[in-house]
Amino acid sequence: MRDRGTGELAPAALLAEKLGVHLDPELLVLSLTHRSFAHEAGGIPTNERLEFLGDTVLGLVVTEALYRRHPDLSEGELAKMRAATVSQRALAAIARELDLGAYLLLGKGEQATGGRDKDSILSDTLEALLGAVYLTHGLEPARALVERLVDPTLTRAADLGAGLDWKTSLQELAARLELGVPAYQVLGEGPDHARTFTAQVVLAGQVQGSGVGPAKKIAEQGAAAAAYRTLLERSPQGQASHG
């Protein structure tokens, strides 16, 4: 897959070289084909079926890795770590390290609204690539690639504690303190391609924390993190840790 004039690798082949795996050229292109491009091209196949497959492969490999690495953790703790590792935000960060946005096949409208850097598109495309690797080489090479890509995230997840899922951690802390269930109020501002969300979390009738982010979920997690830290400082457990 080299350009006949320059001898350089074609863009899709360059990506395969970054991944360290050989992929059938057609399958590689398919994994990079967003539905917006497919629609403009007259309804050609998209990467969504490969994404569906890759999501399953990713989940299996990450779940097994966590199970083997952390024999003393509960099912709930493992589930939080898995969720943090395979989250849209975490996968998009990996995709950016690969410069995956540069290789995407996007429709003109999606390109114009910043599609090459959208978390949702980047994470979905990364999963599609994993699906393509699985179809081409089977589980073990796919496992090796997944583990290489997500290992830094898995390592960080082991040290995050409550930060694995601030909303769940806040709900658990609020229950211990008998404050009821957290309620989130979210406002979005700006154009669709560059919206900013502000979230506030209310407990016992009072705003306990706020957060801002490019997505509703991120803003809510930020608000939950702020509230968690505030409540922990006020709780007997938090006060004891400073005593």
Per-residue model confidence as pLDDT tens digits over 167-212: 888 888 899 889 999 999 999 998 877 789 999 999 989 999 999 9
Every domain of the chain and the residues it spans:
11-163, 178-234
> Is residue 40 within 8 Å of residue 115, measured between CB atoms?
no
Residue 124, annotated as binding a ligand: yes
> Is residue 103 within 8 Å of residue 117, measured between CB atoms?
no
Dist CA 15 CA 12 (whole Å): 5
How many CB atoms neighbour CB 163 within 10 A? Answer: 16
pLDDT digits (tens, 9 = 90+) for 118-129: 999 999 999 999
pTM above 0.75, yes or no: no
Confidence of residue 9 (pLDDT cuts 50, 70, 90): very low
Strand order in the sheet with 206-213: 183-189, 196-203, 206-213
Helix segments in 74-138, DSSP class H: 75-85, 88-97, 108-112, 119-137
Closest CA to 182 of 173, 190, 194, 191: 173
First to last CA, the chain: 65
Q: CB burial class (10 A; 0-12, 13-18, 19+) of residue 81? A: buried
Pick 178-234's CATH classification: 2.60.120.10, 3.90.550.10, 3.40.50.970, 3.30.160.20: 3.30.160.20
Pick 11-163's CATH classification: 2.40.170.20, 1.10.1520.10, 3.20.20.10, 3.40.50.150: 1.10.1520.10
Could you tell me the two tokens for 19? 């991944």
pLDDT digits (tens, 9 = 90+) for 205-232: 999 999 998 888 889 989 998 998 888 7
Torsion angles phi and psi, residue 115, rounded to 5: -60, -25
Q: What is the pLDDT of residue 237?
A: 52
Catalytic residues: 55, 127
Dist CA 70 CA 157 (whole Å): 12
Residue 178, annotated as binding a ligand: no
